[in-house]
A and B are shown apart, each in its own frame.
Chain A
Amino acid sequence: MIGIVDYGAGNLRSVLKAFEFIGLPAQVLAAPAEMKGASRIVVPGVGAFGAAVEKLDASGFRAPLTDWVAAGRPLLGICLGMQLFLDSSEETPGPRGLGIIPGGNRKFTAGKVPQIGWNRVASSGDPLFAGLSAAPWFYFVHSYYAAPDDPAMVVATADYGITFPAALRSGSAVGVQFHPEKSGEAGLALLKNWGCS
């Protein structure tokens, strides 16, 4: 079963509906104790970094999530959920992220911010993108982008004034900046790749 973490910040219903549509059993997890029944975990997220960190802590999900990754179990972060994998964000200086991926999140400085719309993603052959077209389109909504210390963790990029990470991977944790649950066929294929890997 795929568990979708409900820490109070995110449009998790669309993620749930997407997994249901592709036939993968998924469930919203209201408390860390419910992680026991899950084989894979998704951290969704919409909103501000600082508020999300507070909610992660208040809901008690922080340590269970870092332990989950430390045990090599599969974790997927979507949008802000991925940004939470890093240590910090320019959006809210101070609050600490999960620290699963060393680095921070930076603000776009050119173009219309937030980026709202469909953008092409170039991947370096990560299995997440297996079977997708050469430069698939995904739907993005964000003002900040991940800046991991180790560029080798960037497994896909997109261009928006600058080239920024569209997907990250570190061990059993993967994160995508775009919304696969709102990216049509390409998004569903990516969720299937992750959910069935």
Chain B
Amino acid sequence: MNAIRIIPCLDVDEGRVVKGVKFTGIRDAGDPVELAERYNEGGADEITFLDIGATYKSREIMRGIVEAVSRRVFVPLTVGGGIRTVEDMQAILRSGADKVSLCSAALNDPALLTEGARRFGNQCIVLSIDAKRHGDTWHAYKSGGRTDSGRDAVAWAIEAVERGAGEILLNSIDADGTQAGYDLELLRRVSAAVPVPVIASGGAGKLEHFTAAVREGKADALLLASLLHDGVMTIRQIKEYLRNEEVMVRC
């Protein structure tokens, strides 16, 4: 049995963590390398960097960050944002990323998943889905949640896994930022539809939401940003809570 993974996500723009992180005693709240180390010491099971700048310069800086983090942090590192070609994937994997996360680029060109998996293995390819509810279904959105791709999110997850995605990062646009809990029905549908791990994102505000994501939503991992960055809770608190709820976590 695998532990439920807790994955902090750092949004980075041209080398700086945006929104900042409210840790006590931190020297530079915007330094992604220092923050990754802190989260690693705090019990992160994996760390995700999202390059929201997504310009050429920002991508180049991100490679330097990953190179530096991978010399000091020895848990899996995932990088997303601005990765549009197989060459982009190769460059960031060479820098020390273990996985790449694709969202808009995969919707625009699904063959990118196939080719990426063939070249680097399914375990390297995370498909990120920004899903928004449309009646009884969900659509996959692109461009940071601004554009409806028109694709059914569950069908897209299934196709992506057939093409070679090794994990699905599922973000609910509706729940994101509400702190009212995950979109459990969306999670459940996607988890039931694909044979690969599903990482839940968007909507958590209280500890009970995590147990619901795991028990009802069948999530394999939880991606967290502002709850951790704002110091509302720590990874250790979440893990202790989950352990008491008899959800398996890595201590």
Which A residues have a C-beta under 8 Å from some C-beta of B?
11, 13-14, 17-18, 20-21, 46-47, 112-119, 137, 139-141, 159-160, 181-184, 187-188
Contacts and interface: CB of A to CB of B under 8 A. Distances in A.
Nearest to B98: A182
Contact of A117 (B5, B72, B74, B98): B5
Given A117-B220, A182-B76, A17 B96 contact: yes
Interface in B54-87: 70-72, 74-76
Given A117-B220, A118-B250, A182 B74 contact: yes
Given A116-B166, A116-B167, A141-B123, A20 B2 contact: no
Contacts of B72: 21
A116 B7 CA distance: 14
Interface in B143-201: 166-167, 195-197
Nearest to B43: A184
Chain A CB within 10 A, most for which of B2, B71, B98: B2
12 contacts: A11-B98, A13-B70, A17-B70, A21-B74, A112-B220, A116-B166, A137-B250, A139-B76, A140-B2, A141-B123, A159-B1, A183-B74
A119 B98 CA distance: 18
Contacts of B250: 118, 137
Nearest to A188: B74
Given A13-B94, A21-B72, A139-B75, A119 B1 contact: yes
B122 interface: yes
Contacts of B96: 13-14, 17
Contact of B71 (A21, A118, A141): A21
Nearest to A142: B123
Interface size grouping (class) on chain B = 20 to 34
B40 interface: yes
B88 to A, nearest CB: 17
A184 B166 contact: no
B75 A46 contact: no
B2 A187 contact: no
Contacts of B123: 46, 114, 116, 141
Contact of A116 (B70, B71, B74, B197): B197
Contacts of A140: 2
B2 A160 contact: yes
B121 interface: yes
Chain A CB within 10 A, most for which of B70, B71, B74: B74
B74 A184 contact: yes
B3 interface: yes
Nearest to B122: A114
B45 interface: yes
A10 B40 CA distance: 24
A183 B250 CA distance: 11
Given A114-B196, A141-B123, A188-B74, 4 more contacts: A47-B121, A114-B166, A140-B2, A160-B2
Contacts of A11: 93, 98
